[in-house]
Structure 1
Amino acid sequence: MEIVISIAAKIAECTVAPFGQWLSYSFHYNSNIENLKNQEEKLQHTQERVIYSVEAALRNGEEIYLDVSKWLTDVDRIIELATRKLREIEEAGTKSSNAACLNLKHRHQLSREAKKMMENITELLKFGNFDRVSYFPASKGKKKTRKMDYMAMESRMMVVKGIMEALGNAEIDKIGLWGMPGVGKSTLMKEIARQAKEEKLFTEVVMTNVTNNPDVRCIQGEIADLLDLQFDQETEKGRANHLQQRLSKGKNILVILDDIWKAFDLQEIGIPSKGCKVVMTSRDRDVLISGMGTQKAIHELKILRKEEAWNLFEEMAGDSVKDWPEVRGIATKIAEKCAGLPIALVTVSKALKNKSLVIWKDALMQLTRLTPEIWSPVDSCIQLSYEHLDGEEAVKSLFLFFAQQGYYISYQDLLRYGFGLGLFLNIYTLKAARNKLESLVSGDSCLLLESPHSSEKFYMHDLVRDVATIIASKNHNMFVMRDDGRQEAWPDVDALNRCEALSIHGGDIHKHPTKMECPKLRFFHVNCKDSRNLKIPDIFFQGMEKLEVLSLRNIQLSSLFPLTKLQTLCLHGCMLGDIHWIGELKTLVILSLAYSDISNLPREIGLLTRLQLLDLSNCSRLRVIPPNVLSSLVNLEELYMQKINVQWGVEGPNNEGINASLAELKELSHLITIEIDIPDANNLPKDFLNEKFERYKICIGNIRDPFLLGEAAFSRMLKLKLNMSFQLDFGIKMLLERIEYLYLDELNTTKSVLYELDREDFRQLKHFHIQNNVNKKLIPELKTQAVTFPILETFVLKDMINLEEIYQGNLPLESFRNLKVLKVENCEKLRFIFSLSIARGLSLLEELNIIRCNNMGAIFVKEEEDGIKDQGDMMLFGRLQTLVLKDLPKLMGFLSTKDSFMTDCTETNSEGNHDLQLSLLHHYDQLRFPSLRKLHLEGLPKIKHVWSKEPQRMLKFQALQDIYVGKCESLTSLFPAWVLGCLGQLKKIEIYDCRVEEIVAAEEGGVGARTLVFPRVTSLNLTNLQRLKWFYKGMHVSKWPMLKEMKIERCEEVEIFASGVMSFEETVEEIQSEMSIKQPLFLVNKRSFPSLETLHIRNMDKLEIIFEKLEGQNSKEPQVSIISRSEIEESEAATHFVSNLSFPSLETLYISNMDSLEIIFGELEGQNGKESQVLIFSGSGIEENGATIHSVSTVRIHSI
């Protein structure tokens, strides 16, 4: 027949052209089909390469070119069409005994379509070789360059890679990094913390500095702050227990302890031996290995290689080194003097940046001649950087005062100390001083570094601090006492006589003199971990007549001798008692009583008319502020009254009450900064808030936790909780024009605040939280065509029970372009979040949480009026890392058309389940989640599938690490088999309260998977899955090389926990009817669970066999004897026996509440070879010898 067709094809070439062309499709049927297959395969390979580049770019924060996105969409569609067409052709051939016998018309049609499709694919292949698929947005360029300066160097990347691999190793809990001072350990730890957060390896990452004089309370406090944990205990031991409970209960917590000088017990701080990962750095390798137990993972950070050191120096020094040969020659010698240490290279290069040739020569000479006090080349480099600090002498003075403080110093403290000392020359207002300070510390000398925890704090490298301390004491008579073995005793009489600044952070603080004779002292600071019991006598300060700044923390102070030159007084956390003497300090311009125990603010404070800053924040016992005290402070610029419990008086000219009225603050014409919470909105006077406030944090209404740690970075914040009709006055409207953080809680209000605002009010808004407005059906439409939220980063909607749409109408695409976090909770009538036109602009979204929205049918919807055709609908959620969809009873899909899900909502059966078979993420050609780490799905009764059963080439979840699925009643399985190949980073699987019959579903019509591998999963939890029978139906082997914890509970249909695949195959062959075969939950081999430490089995009423005929590695491997109670009752000798079972890492076996199971363990052998006898009997009284399980440390058996 084929020969006939071939001859006919030749004849066709000689016939009339149109007819011949028609026939040629039939005659070239086979070649057209084969060409289509080949071209489709080529296109798939090209597509995979482009996808890999796109996803790598998205993870790196880059934007994808529009032509690349469109090409991928087109490829998706043509591959889908080609796959369908080839399947149709295959089916047509199957129905006929011979494909060649198809009628000519059908052959012509299929061949013509195949050729046309092949030509389209060929055209797409031409445009698939992209030189670049992405670009960096302009705003991200600076960050990228900064990273390239140091962390992109090969020697650093290798160490980072090693530590990140160790963090991913379930066998390793403690990791050590050691290296000489200044080599960059702390910088590298910040990079580890950044990557761990960015890649969502851990749910929480905390980093703290230990130092050579560890303060346990301080370390505990820093860790607790980062975990949002509050201590109720006073003792270090009590705080340690509380912290240990928090770290043990937390999931995937990373603790970084930087700069450890000597070994200590982690549990003294509250860090458990297990439950979290700990990374530690030290200068001493032995401290980490012998003292801290990091022998399994210890890394050394060496100095930079010669070429790396020069590249870093050249990059930091700027164009003068690159373009000026004379300078370049000297620069290479100076770079060599920096000895490959990043801290020296960076500080020196930036100090000499854009300097003249003469200065470069002088610098080289200084580095060549070491002074006796500066004992190493690195110290000499730091001294050189100090001497070349740009600006007036104030910069150097601030630097030296900074070095005398603790490891961290806040921006506020630096401002208050510097202003009190008069370091800002010719500046007389705090506003101007703040601007000046910001310009000084924002310089790029790298001597002051921004804290990784807060933009409001700075710190100094210990090498820099050591050099600065030497310079300060030698040249400026500034001394410091610390518990570091250098200066622990009080300075001698001669030193005190010439001392200008003294900071005490430890040492023999309790051996202080009764009276200090310091005639030149201008700055005195005490902050010791044991200073709470220190009581300073009245006459202590008599010899400090020139004192300008006094800062005391956690000290008992009964009175203070009149200090006639005192400018700044900070009594942070002090026990003060009666402070009526405060009125005698008439020169004060800054007064802070924050965290102190005062209950009544003395009237004498009203005498401090020069006061420009008053801080009463966190004075939890403060109840009384007398009338007319605050209004007397006519020069006040900044007022801090967060978290105080004062019952404000009523507004009026003759307020005779106990407390002042807030109306007094209206009389302070210079007040531009205020931080205050006002629980009762009735106390808010009219026109109190106005546009003169430039920096403000104002909380009106009874809001729990009015000011949180994470909000410190916002300088303009307003929180409103209203339970009455509240008329917005003009002042608040003016504040909103520049607001950064807005929180609205409008319980029972008749009219929303938002109705009184113009959309242009939100030009600088970064965080927007609105809740409890029962009357609002939609957030008001735009009154202008301006972009609504151009820089908004966090958007929270909560308890808006009548809200039907967030926005109605069209918004500019840029409206939410910077949005990173979107949370919607308990909005009962909300049907969807955004239209597709807005959703496509959410390219920076990192977290999406939608919870308890009873009417929501889809997260994003397409509408015809959007005017967007399918071909351009691809949505790249390139940054999305967390997706939480919880308690959404009507949710049909992530993306849908509005008409579709509205129709679906009405087509439900009696059980409330829709009839459609679409998956949650069925629009696979339009959705991309390359960075998704956490997927939490709970309470989604209409979802039958998470992923489509058919393989999808573009929908990849290779970054996914945690999956939580619960209360999804219609779900029949979690994974289709094809998706497992995309989940190489998966670490945790938890499924609960679902009706799944299997966890992994086979592809329909495909070949069953022979091996299911979960290479990185460490935790598996299957709870209350009443219909679950097996993990995967059919012949297979499942492997879990890193699984440490497994919990199976209330899966009542499971009868056999695990069986060897070989024995199961034998059973299938022996039994003709597969209906009588009891398939185990897992089919495994001897290497399936090599790392399992904890096995928890509970409430499995039908479970008869835990392990059946598993082949071990050798005769010494563990054996477990299992007896089924039901079979004992029917047969006297029936016993299921487990032979040679291998669990080399098992530590805990927990078995509880299983009616059908009898277990008898005998002669359990541990790792140390010692045998421990654990015997468990059932009511039958039968005892069998049996199980040897290596490493078992705990066996708990209950109610079997």
Structure 2
Amino acid sequence: MEAAFEKVVDILFGVAIRQISYMWNYIENIDTLKRALQDLKGTRERVQGQIDIAIRGGNNLFEGVEKWMKDADQQISKAEEFVEEEANAKKTSECYHCALEDESKQIIGIYGLGGVGKTTLALEVAARVRHRLFAEVAFTTISQKVDFEKIKKDIGEATKRIMKGDKILIILLDDVWEKLNPEDLCIPCGNKHKNCKILLTSRSIKVVEECGGLPLLIQAFGNALKDENIKSWEWALTQLQKHAPSDVDDEIQKSFTHLQLSYDYLKSEKAKSCFLLCSMFPEDWYISLEDLAYYAVGLERFDDLDSIEDARGRVQNAVDMLTSSCLLLKNQYLGEGYTKMHDVVRDVALLIASQGNNKFLSNLNKVHIPHLEIFLVQKNQNLSKISDEFIGWMKKVKVLDISWNNISSLPQSFQLLTKLRMLDLRGNKSLHEISILGVLRDLEILILNETGITKIPREIAQLVNLRVLQVKDCVDLSLITEGVIAALSRLEELCIDLSFLKRASPCIVENKDSILIN
């Protein structure tokens, strides 16, 4: 029993910590792990049978048996997860096998964002094809500062064998930052040395192309297809062979079909909607999941929504799905409440949105945007006024975020926004009067933080569908009109910072249970 358990533990952890040389025995180790996993499962079942017999007979278990069962379950779970991931990775790597086997291609490049697994995939592909087609694989890291002597040392033996005409060899050049001439690295290639294949990884498609390679984007491609059957992979191949729209930047054209494919294969419409919403934020913006939840509620993206907290959970699930598909990036600075979108991914997302029926994204070069559902204009201190004409252009808008501007008043045309469900006015410190908002009967989320309002007027009581009201850090606030809060029967979240209420002025604060007079 212990031998089987120790065997699978050793193999499992060994897979995780072996260095690069392990990759060349990768397939053999995976097969060994699978056999050991089955042995451990069988042993566990037999032990469970003995436990059941002992319990029925009223006998005590030997010391350590329960702990062994718990440890065995944990290791079985880890091993099964690893085997499943390996199976998915196998599907991904098959695409690259074809490129290596193509006699017309001598240099193959894998490009993608930093940290998405280019090196791991390159090593895995090399390991899988080595026994079938190639004599040896030589590995070297190029990096931003090229050390020619080190590189020549790493691949020296392989280049000698290529010159001798040995069986085909792979030279893996990892982390290439700029154009490299193989001859500068003493790598024999060209028509005279067909027995040399160069597999390189880079963050830039331009580098791959300048090196004469066939570029293969892995940023989200493998994750999009990891659970699909062979027919889906064949269909995906035809999609990858299609061209992107010609009226966009070259860099975006190269990434378009790959990212479009990843988007199309998202199994959740909520995740697709979240992806497009994230593209609306500026480049390199840390995107708040709280904002995404509010936008999604305003856009009515969720069916059978129980609460605002439920919306937060659904957004978190969508962001997790997009992150695992490499369409969003994990935020390393602001914590779990934020995410980020790579600039290339954002450009492609905007292009995808512009071609579909996405009413919350529009070409703002057009003056008339009657079907617009969401509009964001943030952090513009030069924006002090919104014209009636502009509001008239977007009567169907559901989400309006005009936070952190310098708006001093709201136009009378606001009463035309009868579809509005989410309004963010935070940070407009010159904004004092909000009575006009009372006509927005469908409004569900209203954010007034850090505005210049002096009171919450009686008109706000007409917002009977309001679910979230935030009035934080309003330093001029002196009055919350009696009866307003009690009238908001659907209110789920009320955030009012009472510390800023002016002590010099009479103030009425109420809730549904009591009225406080200051």
The TM tier, using the shorter chain, reads 0.5 to 0.7
Structure scoring higher RCO (CA < 8 A, sep ≥ 6) equals 2
What's the counterpart of residue 10 of structure 2?
A: none
Equivalent position SS for 1:591: strand
Report the 3-state secondary structure (helix = DSSP H, G, I; strand = E; otherwise coil) of the residue aligned with 2:223.
helix
Distance 1:411 1:372 in 2: 31
Instruction: Please list every run of 5 or more consecutive structure 2 residues that lacks an aligned counterpart in the other structure.
Output: 1-16, 18-73, 87-109, 119-143, 145-174, 180-196, 203-212
| Contact 1:583-1:608 within 8 A present in 2 as well | yes
CA distance in structure 1 between the partners assigned to 2:501 and 2:177 by the alignment: 54
Q: Which one of 265, 268, 271 corresponds to residue 388 of structure 1?
A: 265
The alignment of Structure 1 onto Structure 2 pairs a total of residues equal to: 321
Pick the structure with more strand per residue: 1
The AA in structure 1 aligned to 2:434 is: I
Does 2:271 correspond to 1:368? no
Which residue in the other structure is 2:171 paired with?
A: none
Deviation string for 1:825-874 (max 9, x for gaps)? xxxxxxxxxxxxxxxxxxxxxxxxxxxxxxxxxxxxxxxxxxxxxxxxxx
Compute the displacement of 1:624 (Å): 2.3
CA pair 631-186 structure 1, distance change in 2 beyond 3 A: farther
Q: Secondary structure at the match of 1:378?
A: helix
Amino acid at match of 1:452: Q
Taking the TM superposition and a 5 Å limit, the aligned residue runs for 1:1092-1111 are none
Distance 1:638 1:306 in 2: 59
Q: Is the contact between residue 427 and residue 449 of structure 2 (CA under 8 Å) also seen in structure 1?
A: yes
How much does 1:415 deviate? 0.5
Paired with 1:338 and 1:624, the residues of 2 have a C-alpha distance of: 67
Q: Please list the CA deviations of residues 744-794 of structure 1 after superposition, one character each: whole Å capped at 9, or x if unmatched.
A: xxxxxxxxxxxxxxxxxxxxxxxxxxxxxxxxxxxxxxxxxxxxxxxxxxx
Letter in 2 for 1:431: E
AA of the residue aligned to 1:551: D
Within 5 Å, give how 1:620-1019 maps onto structure 2: 620-642=475-497, 644-646=499-501, 658-661=507-510, 664-666=511-513
| 8 A contact 2:360–2:372 mirrored in 1 | no
Alignment deviations for residues 289-322 of structure 1 (CA, whole Å, 9 cap, x no partner): xxxxxxxxxx97469x976869xxxxxxxxxxxx
Sequence identity, in percent? 31
Change (3 A) 1:526 1:598: same
State the secondary structure of the residue aligned to 2:375: strand
> Measured at CA, do residues 442 and 306 of structure 1 come closer, stay the same or move farther in structure 2, by a change above 3 Å?
farther
- 2:328 is matched with 448
Residue by residue over 1:963-1000, the C-alpha shift from the partner in whole angstroms, topping out at 9 and shown as x without a partner, is xxxxxxxxxxxxxxxxxxxxxxxxxxxxxxxxxxxxxx
- Aligned residue for 1:464, secondary structure, equals helix
Separation (CA, whole Å) in 2 of partners of 1:521 and 1:644:
39
Return the alpha-carbon distance in structure 1 between the equivalents of residues 498 and 111 of structure 2.
Answer: 41
Equivalent residue for 1:569, pick from 406, 419, 423? 423
- Which of 469, 473, 476 is equivalent to 2:350? 469
Correspondence 1:414 to 2:292 = yes
Q: Is the 8 A contact 1:619 1:644 kept in 2?
A: no
Tell me how far apart the structure 1 counterparts of residues 309 and 254 of structure 2 sit (CA, whole Å).
41
Task: Provide the rounded CA distance (Å) in 1 between the counterparts of 2:313 and 2:360.
Answer: 29
Does the 8 Å contact 1:339/1:377 carry over to 2?
A: no
Contact 1:580–1:604, Cα closer than 8 Å, also in 2:
yes
**For 1:416 and 1:184, how far apart are their aligned partners in 2?**
31
Alpha carbons of structure 1 residues 185 and 357: separation in structure 2 relative to 1, 3 Å: closer
Match of 2:401 in 1: 551
Q: 1:366 to 1:601 in 2, by over 3 A?
A: same
> For 1:536, what is the secondary structure of its paired residue?
coil
Q: Answer yes or no: is the 8 Å Cα contact 2:288–2:337 preserved in 1.
A: yes
> For residue 601 of structure 1, what is the aligned residue in structure 2?
456
Contact kept in structure 1, 2:359 and 2:373, CA below 8 Å: no
Write the distance in 2 (CA, Å) between the matches of 1:435 and 1:582: 29
Equivalents in 1 of 2:451, 2:224: separation in Å? 42
Q: What residue identity is the alignment partner of 2:310?
A: A
Cα deviation for residue 183 of structure 1 reads 4.0
Shift of residue 666 of structure 1?
4.7
Change (3 A) 1:369 1:531: same
Contact 1:620 1:643 in 2 (8 A): no
* 1:578 and 2:433 correspond: yes
Q: Which residue of 1 aligns with 2:114?
A: 184
Distance 2:178 2:330 in 1: 24
User: Which residue of structure 1 lines up, in the alignment, with residue 255 of structure 2?
Assistant: 378
CA contact (8 A) 2:244 2:256 kept: no
Instruction: From 395, 399, 408, give the equivalent of 2:275.
Output: 399
Distance 1:359 1:415, change over 3 A: same
Given candidates 381, 387, 396, the residue that maps to 1:537 is 387
What displacement does 1:642 show? 4.6
SS at match of 1:427: coil
Q: TM-score by structure 1 length? A: 0.25
The RMSD of aligned alpha carbons is: 4.1
1:522–1:557 distance in 2 versus 1, CA, 3 Å: farther
Could you state the TM-score of these two structures normalised by the residue count of structure 2? 0.54
Aligned partners of 1:460, 1:571: CA distance in 2, in Å? Answer: 25
Q: Cα offset for 1:350?
A: 0.7
Shift of the alpha carbon at 1:603? 2.1
Is 1:356 the equivalent of 2:229?
A: yes
Aligned partner letter, 1:658: C
Q: 1:617 maps to which residue?
A: 472
Deviations 1:165-193 (A, max 9, x none): xxxxxxxxxxxxxxx994428999xxxxx
Q: CA deviation at 1:533?
A: 4.0
SS of aligned partner of 1:433 = helix
1:429 to 1:480, Cα distance in 2 relative to 1, 3 A: closer
8 Å Cα contact 2:221/2:262 also seen in 1: yes
1:639 alignment partner, SS class = strand
1:436 lines up with 2:314 in the alignment: yes
CA distance in structure 1 between the partners assigned to 2:238 and 2:116 by the alignment: 30
Match of 2:365 in 1: 491
Match of 1:521 among 369, 372, 387: 372
Asked if structure 2 preserves the Cα contact closer than 8 Å seen for 1:595 and 1:619, the reply is: yes
User: In 2, are the aligned partners of 1:549 and 1:568 still within 8 Å (CA)?
Assistant: yes
